[in-house]
């Protein structure tokens, strides 16, 4: 398998929004923001206090494993809601063939039991293709550690994160490492 870059997605996102909406005031704001900013997929934010080293483990963290990324209890899946892309021909940070990673994502803060660190995980949906038919018995997950409601969208796992893709059709969800939670 080889890779295709997902560069410039944010730019495409904004352009698509620009085409679709008639709300000029908003657009000009977005346009301004872009001029000042390098083009890169939107990164999620950390939630303050999520990674206090001495807090007790959640049930998910107690049971998490690091061997099989195509099961719901894989350590990175602590806040995933969706179908694991690894069950659809993709991988933890790889969209299945023919789908596109979303430039936007929701975020979880998950404990890696191997190194004891908390990592920020971007749950980027893979989009532009109808819902994946997963092969595997433990591919549809709904984990909720520190999942917040939609009025805190970047920490919400219910939203279809396909904004700015060629179509908003949801295919599956990845769980890419963004960095260590600070």
Partner 1 sequence: MRETRSIMLRCLAVSKAIARRKPSAPLARTILFGASALASVSVAAQEAESTPVLPAERSDVAVLSAAGPHRIFNFSPFGGGGVILFEGDDPAIKSLGNVPATDNAAVALPRDASKIYLAETYWSHGNRGERSEILSVYDAQTLDLESEIPIPGHLHVVPKMSQMGLSDDDSLAYIYALVPSSSVHVVDLAKESLATTIEIPGCALVYPYGPRSFATVCGDGTIGSVTLDDDNGSSIRFSERMFDPDNDPVLENSIVDRSTGEGFFLTYTGKILSVPLGEGPISGETWSIQEAAGMEAPGTGVQELAWRPGGNQLMALHRDTGRIYVLMHPGNHWTHKVAGTEIWVLDAHEHKLLRRIPLDTPATSVAVSQGEDPLLYVFGFEGDGPGGLEVRDATTGEVLRGRGWPGFGNVFVPGN
* Residues between 13 and 42 that touch partner 1 (CB under 8 A): 13-14, 17, 20-21, 23, 26-27, 29-30, 33-34, 36-42
**Three-state secondary-structure class, residue 106:** strand
- Residue from the set 77, 80, 94, 113 that interacts with partner 1 by CB under 8 A: 94
Query: Residues of 80-111 as b/e, b for ≥16 C-beta within 10 angstroms?
Result: bbbbbbbbbbbbbbbbbeebbbbbbbbbbbbb
Q: Site for partner 1 (CB under 8 A): which residue of 88, 110, 111, 141?
A: 88
Among residues 47, 72, 113, 138, the one that binds partner 1 under rule CB under 8 A: 47
Residues marked active site are found at: 106, 125
Which listed residue (131, 138, 141, 173) binds partner 1 by CB under 8 A?
A: 131
Q: What is the dihedral of CA 90, 106, 82, 78, to 10 degrees?
A: 90
Taking CB under 8 A as the criterion, the residue among 24, 63, 65, 97 binding partner 1 is 97
Report how many residues bind partner 1 under the rule CB under 8 A. 108
Q: Where in 138-177 is the site for partner 1 (CB under 8 A)?
A: 142, 144-154, 158-160, 162-163, 166-170, 174, 176-177
According to the binding rule CB under 8 A, does residue 83 interact with partner 1? Answer: no
Q: Can you tell me the distance from the alpha carbon of 165 to that of 83, in angstroms, rounded to the nearest whole number?
A: 18
Quick check: 53 binds partner 1 (CB under 8 A)? no
CB of 69 to partner 1, least distance (A): 12
H helices within 36-78, ranges in order?
59-63
Query: To which residue do tokens 């657009």 refer?
Result: 27
Selected from 44, 69, 106, 111, the binder of partner 1 by CB under 8 A is 44
Tell me which residues in 98-127 interact with partner 1 (CB under 8 A): 98-101, 103-104, 112, 114-117, 119-120, 122, 124, 126
For the CB of residue 152, give the shortest distance to partner 1 in the complex, in Å. 5
CA distance 4 to 42: 18
Round to whole Å and give the CA distance between 118 and 113: 9
Task: Tell me the C-alpha distance between 17 and 30, whole Å.
Answer: 10
Classified as helix, coil or strand, 122 is: strand
């Amino acid at each position: 398998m080889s890779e295709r870059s997902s560069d410039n997605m944010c730019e495409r996102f904004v352009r698509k929004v620009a085409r679709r909406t008639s709300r000029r005031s908003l657009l000009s704001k977005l346009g301004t923001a872009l001029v000042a900013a390098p083009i890169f997929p939107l990164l999620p934010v950390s939630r303050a206090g999520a990674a206090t080293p001495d807090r007790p483990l959640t049930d998910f963290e107690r049971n998490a494993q690091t061997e099989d990324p195509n099961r719901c209890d894989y350590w990175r899946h602590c806040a995933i809601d969706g179908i694991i892309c690894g069950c659809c021909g993709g991988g933890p940070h790889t969209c299945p063939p023919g789908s596109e990673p979303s430039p936007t994502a929701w975020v979880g803060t998950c404990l890696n039991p191997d190194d004891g660190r908390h990592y920020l995980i971007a749950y980027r949906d893979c989009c532009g293709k109808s819902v994946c038919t997963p092969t595997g018995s433990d591919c549809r997950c709904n984990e909720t550690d520190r999942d917040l409601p939609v009025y805190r969208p970047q920490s919400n796992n219910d939203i279809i994160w396909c904004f700015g893709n060629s179509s908003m059709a949801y295919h599956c969800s990845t769980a890419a490492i963004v960095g260590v939670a600070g």
